[in-house]
Chain A
Amino acid sequence: MAGAKSALVLCMDVGFSMSNSAPGEEPPFELAKKVIQKFVQRQVFAETKDELALVLFGTDSTKNPLDQDGQYQNITIHRHLMMPDFELLEEIQNQIHPESQQADWLDALVVCMDLLQRETKGKKYDRLNIVLLTDLNTGASADHLDVIIENLKKDGITLQFFLPFPVEEDEEGGGDADRRGPSHPGMGKGLSREQKNSMDMMKHIMLSLDEEDGLDQIYTFTNAIEQLCMFKRIERRPMSWPCQLTIGSSLSIRIVGYKAVTEEKLKKLWISVDAQTNKREDLKRETVYCLDDDNETEVQKDDTIQGFRYGSDIVPFSKVDQEQMKYTHDGKCFAVLGFTKQSLVHRHQFIGNQVIKIFAPKDDEWPCRPSSGRWHELKMVAIVRYAYDRRSNPQVGAAFPCIKQDYECLLYVQLPFTEDLRQFTFPSLENNKKFTPSDTQLSAVDSLIDSMMLVEENENGEQVDMFKVHQLPNPAFQRHFQCLHHRAVSPGTPLPPMEPWLKAALERPEVISERCQAPLEEMRKTFPLTEVEKKKKVKTSAQLFGKDSEEPDAKKAKGDEEEEEYNLADIAEGSVTSQLTHRIEQLLSNKNTQYYMKSITCIQAFREQSIEQGNADLYNSYLQSLKRSIPNRGLEVFWDLLVQGTISLFTWDCRISLKSFLP
C-alpha cells in the first residue's frame, strides 16, 4: 500500500557515563554513534518513506516542549520527525559529542512519546517505534512507570533497547556480573546499582509490552554494528494479480498471482552531469537524424516516418497502421492448454526473468484447492497461456504444482516460443576417443567432488548447506552503496576497497578450500592443461595496433569471438614481406598524406611480391587486418585514399582469394 510508512525516534544517551570505558575499549558513546550512523545510512539508501527523529539526552542544554518547572531537563530534540538525509548524517558525524550531564532515560522516553504523538497527528503510519541507546547508568524514577506503559500500549508504540552489555533472560538474584565473563566490552567492572535498577525497569516495560518476545528487542551495540554493516536488501511489496485459471470453456477457478522471484535492479540510474559544475542542467542531449550520404544531410524528426525491416526489404509502417494491424487479444488470461509430463519441460529452457506464484485467493469463500496441485503425484505440469493484461504480450509457460508444509501453490515460469530456440549441435564427447578420460582421471574428479560438497549432514543427521546463494545480498548493490556512501561523506578521496566480509562471501568457504587441496593437487597431476600459445600472439598484435582485444569487454560486448585472430607474427617470419609490412606500419604511424602515399606504394609492392611467390595468403590476411584496424587507429583518410582509385588496379575485396585471379 502506497502510504505505508513508519515513524521512528532514535533516542541516544550522550551523558557523561557513556564516555567511560575500560582501557583499550571503545567507549559506549562511540559505539552508539556508530549504530546510529549505520542505521541512518541504510535508511537513506533504501529510500523508504519512513520518517525519523533524533532525541539526545544528557545534553548540557535543554530543548524540548515538555521543559517546564525544571522537569525534563537536559533533553534535546535534535531533529524532528522527517525523512532521513545526508544532512542528518553529517550532523551526526560533526555535531554529536559526549556531553557532561546526565538525564533520566524514562524522561527521555516520555519526550519521545510526546514527540511521536504530536508529529504523527493526522498522518498515517503503520508503525511507531522508539529506539533507546543508553548504558542505563542514570537513576530513573519509577513513579509513572505504569502510566508510561499504559500510554505505549494505547498508542501502539514499540520499543527497542541498545545497550553496551547483553541482558540475561533469567538472571539469578544479585548482579553476578562475572558469570557473563568480562570479555564483553562495556562490562568492565560489572553493573552499577543504577544500571541494575534501570535494567529491572526496562525488563518490566518490555515484558509488559510483549510477554513472550519482549526481551528479544534488547540488543548490544556490537551485535547491532555487525548486523548493520550490510546495506538493506531491496524489498518490494509483491502486488497481487487476480485472475482466473480456466480449463476449457466452463471450468474456471479464481486465482491470485504474485511475482515471487525476479532479477532485481537498482532503482536509480546514473544521470550525466557537467564535470565542471556537477550540474545536470548544464548538459543537454540531442538526437539528430541524417541521411546516409556523404554530407550527412540532417533531416528534421518530423520529416521521418517509421519503418521496419523485412529481410532485405524496408517497409514503411506508420504507428497508426501498426496499432491497427497488430496482434490483439482478450487480455488477462491464465488458460490451461493441456497437461504434460514434468520431465518434458526442461529446466534449462525456462525463459523470461521471473517466477510467479499462483494461489487460491485469500478471501475466496469457496477456495478451490485442487487448483493448486495435488496432481503433483502424477508428475504432471500444466502448460498455460498467460497474459498479464491487454497491453502485454501473451506467453506460453508451465505451471508446476508446489506443495509446501504450510501452503500450496502453482509456480509459473515462461517457456520459449519456436523462434526463441537455437538448436546448436556440438561434437559428441563420449564417442570421441581422443578426449575420453582415463580411470585415474575419473577417480581424481571423483575425490574432488567428494571433497567439495557444500551440503553435508551434521551430527543430528540434518543436511547443512554452507553456501546458500539465495541468502546472500547482491554484492553489486552492496558495493554500489558502499562507494556512494563513501563519496558522499568523504568527497575528494578515492573509492574504498571492498568490505572484507563481502570479499569473503564471494570466495570458497574456508573449510572447502582446505579440504580440496589434496584432490586438487591430484587433478593437477592427472590432467595436463596447456594454454594454447595463441593468446600471446594476440597480445603482440594488440600492442601493434594499440587496441585491447584481450578480453571481452562489457561495454563493447562484441560477439566476435569467432573471428580468426590475425597475427602479424605469423607473416613477419623473415622474408621480404615482413620488411614490407614493418615499413608500412612505420609509415602509417605518421598521419600525413605524404606518408600515406608511401605506404600505398609499399602495399603495391607487397602485392606484387605475393603474386611472384604465388602465395596470396599473407597479402590477403595483412590487408584484412589492416582494414580491421583502421577505425581504431584513426586511419580512415588513408583507407579512403587507398580505395579511391589511387591505385585502381587493385581489387579491393579482401575476401577474394587471390587464386582466382592469379595466373
Chain B
Amino acid sequence: MAEWNAYYHNEDEEEEQEEGEQSGGDYKVTGRDSLVFLVDASKEMFIKGEDGQPSNFDMTMEVVRSVYTSKIISSHRDLVALVFYGTEQSKNPRNSFKHVYVYHDLDEPGAKRVRDVDGLQGDKGAQLAADTMGSGETSLGDALWCCANLYSDIKLRLSHKRLMIFTCRDDPHGDDSTKDRQARTKASDLKETGVVIDLMHMMKPGGFDVSLFFCDIVSPPEDESELGLQLEPCDKLDDLKKRVRAKEQKKRTMSRLNLCLGKGINVAVGMYATAVMTRKPSAIRLYRETNEPVRSKTRTFHTQTGSLLLPSEIKKAQVYGKKQIVMERDEVDTIKRFDDPGLLLMGFKPMEKLKLHHHIRPAVFLYPEEDEVKGSTCLFSALLMKCREKNVFALCRCISRRNYPPRFVALVPQKEEVDHGKVQITPPGFNAIFLPYADDIRTVDAPQCPVASQMQVNKMKEIVSKLRFKYRSDAFENPVVQQHYRNLEALALDMMAPEDTEDLIMPKVEQIDQRLGPLVQEFKDLVYPNGYNPESKPAAKRKTADTGGGAEKKPKMEVSEDELKAHMQNGTLGKLTVPILKEACKQFGIRTTGTKKQELLDALTARLEITDNLDHT
C-alpha cells in the first residue's frame, strides 16, 4: 500500500516539477487580462420572458456572476468591470458622462462584487436597479468613451482587453444619427488601442438586426469570415453563458513550435492546454499583526563561513552505489537536452493503433500560427483533412521547451463542430496525445477468472441501459475546490456559514435504486450464490500477503434488524462494537458522517424508530 500513499502524498511536489509543462493559467509575466461588461439598462432589458422566463437583464447578471466566480477561481489576477448604459443616474470617475453608471471599476473581482451582482438579480434586483440607476437616455458613444477611460486609468500593464456589450436593442439611438456616428468613432478608437469589442445580443420581439448598427461597432471575427455576425441572438441562459465563456478566456499558447515534416518543411504551430487540473490554490503567508502578505526569500549560504553562496558556488549531486556523483549545474541541464524544441514527424499510423490506456498526461491542442511561418495554415489544414480522410494519426517526437527531454505524441485530427446557434464547440486542429515509454507501463498480472455466462451478461446489459445518461464534460464541478471557495467567501463576507455546495459527483443512489428496481436482486441471484456478501472481506486469506499493516480485522458482524430492535428496546445497543454498528448503518443505507460511537448509535436509533412507526401504521 505504501506506494499508493506515497503517490498521493507527493502530489504537490510532483506538481511543482511539472508545473512548467502544464501551466495553463499562470502568466504573471505578461500583464493582466481585462474584461468590461457594458450592459444595457434600458426598460426593454427588464421585460420578463413568457412563462416567467428570466428577463434579459437577469440573464446578463447571472452570466456576470458566473464569470466573476470563475475568474476568482481560475484567474484571479484578471481585471473585470461592470458598466451600465442607458441609465437615468450617472456615476463614473469624473462624472463627465451622463447616463453611464460604472457599477464596478476595473479591478480584480472579490467576494463583495459577487454579492453586489447577486443583489441585482431577480425581482428585488430589478427594483434595486430601478432605484439606484433607473432607465434613461442612451448614448453608446459616451458609454464607450467612459470605458476607454477605465482602461486608461489602470496603472498596470494589460495584455488583453475585451469589452462585451449586452443588449437587446439593435437600434439604440433611434433616429439620432449624430449619436450613431459618435458611437462608431468611439468604438473605432477603442479598437485601435487594442480593445476587442463583442456583442452579446439577446432576444427581443421582431428579432435582432445586427446590420442596422452594431456591425460597425464590434470587432471583426478572427478568421475574417462573417460567421460572427450571423450568430442568432441568445434567448437561453446556457447559450449566453457558453457564448460569453468562449470569448472571455484568452487563448494562450503554452509554446510555439515548428512541426517539421522534413528538412526545410516547417509548419509553425501553437500548443494550447485545453484541460488543466484546477487545484486548491496554495496558501499565502500573512503577517499576524496586520494581515498583510509577506514575501518569502530563500537563500543558500555556507554553513561554516555563513556567507551567501552564488549559484556558481553550488554544484549538484546524486548518490548511487555509495558514491556521490557531482555535476555542474549547467551539466544537469545539458543532460536533459536532446535537440532544439520542436515537433518532428516520424510517420503515420492507423487510428486503431492508438491505445486507449496509453495515457500519461492531459493532451494539448495544436493550431497553426500563420504569423510565424506564412503558409502554415494551408499545409496544416491539408494535413488535417487527409489524416481524417485516411483515418490515421501522425506520430511525432515532441520537445516542448529547451532542455526538455523528448516525448512522443500522437497527433489526432479533430474536426470543427458548431452547435445550433453556430457557436463553435470543437475547434479544428490536432490533439496531441502523449504516449508512454516502456518505463511508464507497469506489468500487472491479470487475475484469472471464469467467464460470465450469457445470462449474467444480459442482465448486466439491462442494468447498463437502465442507467444511461448523456455525459457532458462540463457537467461536474470539483466539490473540493468549490467547498474551499465557499469557505473563503463566507469568511470574506462574514457570513454565518458557507453556502452549501452540491457534490455533483456523488452517485444519486435513490434514483439509481428506483430505476433499477428488481433488476439488482435478479442480477445478484444469477451471479452470487445465496447469502454471499461481496462487502465482507474474503475469509482470512490475506493474512500472509498483507504485510502493509493496513489489514483491518473484521469480525463477523451481521446483525439482523430484529436483533437490533431487540437491543434498542432493551437499551443494550451500546454493547455492540463500533464495526458492527457501522456495518448495521451500511445495511440500512444510513450515511454516517461521524465515526464516534454515539453518532452511530443516534443514527441507528433514529432510523429504527422510523421503521418501527411505519410498521405500526
Contact = CB atoms under 8 A, between A and B. Distances in A.
Contact of A506 (B338, B355, B532, B541): B338
B110 interface: yes
A393 B481 CA distance: 10
B144 to A, nearest CB: 14
Interface in B461-504: 461, 463-465, 467-485, 487-489, 491-492, 498, 501, 503
Interface in A315-353: 315-317, 322, 325-330, 335-341, 344-353
A268 B288 CA distance: 37
B437 A336 contact: no
Given A291-B294, A370-B457, A471-B438, A326 B484 contact: yes
Contact of B299 (A286, A347, A378): A286
Interface string B146-161: 0000001011011110
A529 B267 contact: yes
Contacts of B5: 389
Contacts of B160: 562
Contacts of B483: 325-327
Interface in A85-104: 85-89
Nearest to A557: B20
A604 to B, nearest CB: 21
B438 A655 contact: no
Contact of B403 (A1, A341, A416, A555): A555
Contacts of B386: 442, 445-446, 449
The A interface is mostly helix, strand or loop, or mixed, namely mixed
A175 interface: no
Given A310-B110, A655-B157, 14 more contacts: A286-B300, A304-B287, A305-B291, A326-B480, A329-B503, A346-B473, A383-B469, A394-B505, A423-B242, A428-B416, A446-B390, A479-B338, A529-B374, A551-B340
Interface string B217-230: 00001111101000
Contact of B357 (A250, A348, A402, A488): A402
A288 B297 contact: yes
Contact of A512 (B309, B346, B477): B346
A421 B532 contact: no
18 contacts: A239-B2, A248-B513, A261-B440, A289-B294, A292-B294, A305-B291, A307-B293, A314-B284, A335-B507, A359-B446, A365-B538, A371-B460, A385-B505, A421-B275, A423-B425, A431-B227, A527-B375, A529-B374
Interface stretch (A110-118, A221-229, A462-470, A567-575): A462-470
Contacts of A140: none
Contacts of A89: 321
A523 to B, nearest CB: 6
Interface in A443-500: 444-446, 448-449, 452-455, 465, 467, 469-477, 479-480, 483-484, 487-488, 491, 495, 498
A415 B4 contact: no
Contact of B507 (A253, A337, A368, A508): A337
B170 interface: no
Interface stretch (A73-81, A276-284, A607-615): A276-284
A471 B408 CA distance: 12
B538 A363 contact: yes
B316 A313 contact: no
A307 B448 CA distance: 52
Contacts of B442: 235-236, 238, 258-262
A287 B265 CA distance: 49
Contacts of A268: 318-320
Which of A402, A421, A441, A534 counts the most B-chain CB atoms under 10 A from its CB? A421
A15 B443 CA distance: 41
A316 B291 contact: yes
B204 interface: no
Contacts of B19: 557
Contacts of B155: 653
Contacts of A144: none
A649 interface: no
Interface stretch (A22-30, A64-72, A151-159, A405-413): A405-413
A445 B378 CA distance: 11
Interface string A417-432: 1111111111111111
Contacts of A359: 446-447, 449
Contacts of A322: 487
The B interface is mostly helix, strand or loop, or mixed, namely mixed
A629 interface: no
B274 A421 contact: yes
B317 A280 contact: yes
A409 B446 contact: yes
A150 interface: no
Interface residues of B, number: 259
- Complex A-B, nearest 7 residue pairs according to Cβ-Cβ distance, in ascending order: A427-B223, A407-B446, A476-B405, A369-B452, A362-B447, A85-B321, A437-B382
A191 interface: no
Interface residue range, chain A: 35 or more
Given A402-B356, A552-B256, A270 B350 contact: no
Interface string B5-16: 101100000100
B528 to A, nearest CB: 5
Contacts of A355: 357, 359
B349 A454 contact: yes
Contacts of A328: 593
A45 B423 CA distance: 54
B317 A278 contact: yes
Interface in B50-89: 68, 70-74, 76
B341 interface: yes
Contacts of B262: 516, 520, 523-524
Contacts of B604: none
A556 to B, nearest CB: 9
B471 A400 contact: no
A327 B506 CA distance: 13
B274 A283 contact: no
Which of A233, A348, A415, A560 counts the most B-chain CB atoms under 10 A from its CB? A348
Contacts of A436: 378, 381
A313 to B, nearest CB: 4
B286 to A, nearest CB: 4
A254 interface: yes
Contact of A561 (B1, B108, B252, B347): B252
Which of B110, B113, B227 counts the most A-chain CB atoms under 10 A from its CB? B110
Interface stretch (B37-45, B327-335, B554-562): B327-335
Interface in B261-311: 261-267, 270, 272-278, 281, 283-289, 291-304, 309
Nearest to A487: B325
Given A244-B535, A370-B459, A449-B386, A561 B378 contact: no
B265 A520 contact: yes
Given A290-B297, A340-B468, A562-B253, A307 B283 contact: yes
A374 interface: yes
B23 interface: yes
Given A84-B321, A360-B449, A264 B365 contact: no
B109 A455 contact: no
Contacts of A275: 312-315
A472 B338 contact: no
A230 to B, nearest CB: 10
Nearest to B334: A495
A416 B473 contact: yes
A210 B309 CA distance: 62
Contacts of A421: 274-275, 473-474
